[in-house]
Amino acid sequence: MIEIINKKDCCGCEACAQKCPKSCISLEEDNEGFLYPHVDKDTCINCGLCEKVCPVLTQAAEHQPVKTYAAKSLDDCMRSSSSSGGIFSLIAEKVLEEDGVVFGASFDDEWRVVHSSAETINDYRKFRESKYVQSHIGNTYKEAEFALKKGRKVLFTGTPCQIAGLKHYLGKEYENLFSVDFICHGVPSPGVFRQYLLEELNRFAQRGENKTVTLLPITSIPNRNALSRGEEFEIESISFRNKSNGWKKYSFALELAQATADGKKNTVEISYTMDKNPFIRGFLHDLYLRPSCHNCPAKCHKSGSDITIADFWGIGKVIPKVDDDKGISAVMINTEKGQKMFDALSLEKWEVDYTTIKKYNPAVYRSFGIPKGRTVFFSSNDTFINTALALTKPSLKEQLKKVIKFIIRR
């Protein structure tokens, strides 16, 4: 049976819980806000299936992509609504046009990031843009398997470890399954993200006469219902990758709404560039990534996905003429099926060397070490925003570099 002794040995893919024939594995949130499996030993029959499907216990071999590209959709509106070049959207629409079903990460009614399915063009758009929070897979492996056995085409997107979990769960290859993962820096804590949202809501409430939301220290992660709807103000939308300032200087945008006396809504947008937003800053400094992310079991294309996508950072140096700051995707073709799909898409593409992608996206092949600030962060008795900003404050050396670059540009 699955027993998590060291938390770095669980990536949170939830394959074990879905595979258990006795449904005796539940998922419980720890004090860092991550879900881990817990086995009811009185019900467990020791069949070993949970261990068999674990992508940490059974890891595939590393390999390199068949081909690698820089690519972008021909539709600028699609690109503006996507994290980078709109390649996921092109693949999703092709699958849906053939009566398929698409699985990806979206927000639920309580603004938790969860995996769900979509069967229409309008519905799949909720999967666009990155969500820098670990998603709750739920029963989507089971749902995907059901659709596959019915003969429907399935597109499943997720982190490399989630795709690895899906492949282990299914136990065999399906010709009608198409899987896409992305270069993953690591997945932040859902509990920490709740904490951040509560503090933003509180700051918004304090601007008027609304009741405030109680702020908790980092050591007290809010429960899952902390962001329940029905308050005098509520969240309307969340965007981790708003491109209003361009692709390279993306912003975190949070739209809040307040009910007025006549039943209408006043909305306000809270927007920070990535270097100013406390949650994004903490994420980029690895303060609250899942412990397994520091020793990822699915790096170097071990997930088994057909295509891996990412932002093509550095495109301005590699192919300057295509860099319009609207987003370019790095596309890594891992299988023959992936190449066939990619060739069928309507897009612009430029073949590049894999070493070039690795140069600007090191997360494709290596995990990042545990920062000293991680322990400090989770033991802090201050608020999230205060703690995150303090731990990610630029060093004197970094500040000097910025000054020098500014002088050179001038």
| Per-position DSSP letters for 346-378, written without gaps between them | -EEEEE--HHHHHHH-GGGT-PPPPPTHHHHHH
DSSP strands (E only) in 183-250: 233-242
pLDDT digits (tens, 9 = 90+) for 340-383: 999 999 999 999 999 999 999 999 999 999 999 999 999 999 99
Maximum mean pLDDT: which of 86-95, 232-241, 258-267:
86-95
Maximum mean pLDDT: which of 1-5, 259-263, 286-290:
286-290
pLDDT digits (tens, 9 = 90+) for 295-305: 999 999 999 99
Output 60 or 230, whichever has higher pLDDT. 60
Cα angle value 322/328/329 (rounded, 5°):
135
Task: Determine the topology of domain 7-52 in CATH.
Answer: Alpha-Beta Plaits (3.30.70)
CA distance 8 to 150: 36
DSSP 8-state code for residue 62: P
Provide the pLDDT for residue 229: 46
Cα angle value 287/398/322 (rounded, 5°):
85
Q: Which of 267, 269, 265 is nearest to 245 (CA)?
A: 269
Please, where in the chain does CATH 3.30.70.20 lie?
A: 7-52
- Contacts with 387 (C-beta within 8 Å, 6 or more apart), sequence order: 218, 376, 377, 380
Helices (H), 129-277: 140-149, 160-170, 190-205
Tokens of 49: 């299936």
CA distance 339 to 305: 12
CA distance 65 to 354: 8
Do 367 and 299 contact (CB within 8 A), yes or no?
yes
Provide the pLDDT for residue 232: 65
pLDDT digits (tens, 9 = 90+) for 10-62: 999 999 999 999 999 999 999 999 999 999 999 999 999 999 999 999 999 99
